[in-house]
Chain A
């Protein structure tokens, strides 16, 4: 674990620009994300939210034809530091080098649930094993802890040898969270995690997030107003790759935000 700095911001983003070929996905984004709380991000489709998360966990390196400019700091350590645009695949020369070790500091939950085609046990043990944990007792403990934290342990503790792909959507999404927790991340990113799962599971996961925020920074990309209001203290509105407004969640959704575009978008969600 990296020593935490005294800075109240866990993540500092400065003038971040990301393009896919000639199409810009993020334009000169500057934002501070506070530590140990849930931070909301809202915005329409194709506004760059997923690109932002991919840049945070450096999987943008694996997207062909992408280029990155700007800086991202976690705890004042440079993750991306590129004053001029560089191709994303060469970011190891303009940011952190040990990308795979770094990715284990960030947990990522994608919109569609993914159970890997292996046993539930192996799903959760996958990341620790790749990181070098081999002892059975240690792995057992990690699997139980993460599945419990993800509110899935009681349902699967007697069938840990079931294939991960055979679980229901809600169970697979909790399995993904367990997988994300298995490498003890400092930051947990959730990208519209509830769009493909039922409301009951969504509520259970929201309870989990409320408990986890004391241990880690949580970035919640969502377009569910009530979800953002329930969980996030601050929310950022991103449109066309730009940060339009960042404020307390209540202010963003009040209909009287500082930027008219925010009000327009928010009223659209209300329908």
Chain B
């Protein structure tokens, strides 16, 4: 049924890059390009947001006075409150213009655009959970290190980060979960091309290509698909696949977080 022959082939569904669901003669439902679209945007987003998020968490937790801490926490909450469609709109307008002028590409809706927007969306979660994890490290560790004459940087690098690594890992995982599940922002910011941004030509990872993610595909195509048709069912199947991925990520993150709360 799904590839011109009888029966549904799960392996082909997951590994074929040919996504042509609306072709009348030979509809094909391979989601590899979409999976790689999601993966490339999410990974790049996490790669950008983790260092900045961690840095901000360290600043808030170790270098800040209480009033500034309260103020920064309010900033984080406000940043987290921005709706995803507004972020997508920013990607469509401001970020598109920036990328086009900085990199000289003709079309600024790319993996990089989506990744930067997603990074800004994931920052609040990464910062607050990392800050929780750093705060959970007992003060006795800090006092011991200071007693040995360590600078703040040494304290952070050698004592706090290793001690908080469970919580920091949970923060990263939850950020990944958020990035993978995001719909509207990537729909508007990454363009609409079903495309694999990785191939044999340098620079191997074409961050300036347009891609489409799993989430964006569902959002973009569900409205135009006939109810009950194979295309319709495949979109629901993608939804189940997404649910499984985010469920697993959240489950692992929860186990890790439960681990720090027990200590």
The reply, when asked whether chain A contacts chain B directly with Cβ atoms under 8 A, is no
Interface residues of A (CB under 8 A from B): none
Interface residues of B (CB under 8 A from A): none
